[in-house]
Amino acid sequence: MLVRAHIIVSGLVQGVCYRWFAEKKAKSLGLTGYVKNLFDGRVEVITEGEKGLIEELINDLKIGPLVSDVRDVKIQWEEYEGKFQGFNIRF
């Protein structure tokens, strides 16, 4: 089942290679979308693909890279739109 997920990650997730970590994991799972830092210190991930693969990504996002400290991950499931060509970091 193809779905879209809007994910917001809170904690020590900026300045610790979190976006690179998320991009690498999403690409390895064949997901599309993007990751970007928000002005308030959180990280936003928008991704599309198979629900089970997105759930795998979410499990990785809850851990993050070694130097991160993930405090909270909020997920909003949405309808698949198919608008992304790949997965990348947005600035």
Q: Which residues have a catalytic role annotated?
A: 19, 37
How far apart CA 4 and CA 45 sit, in angstroms, is 10
How far apart CA 64 and CA 17 sit, in angstroms, is 9
Which residues are 7's β-sheet partners?
45, 75
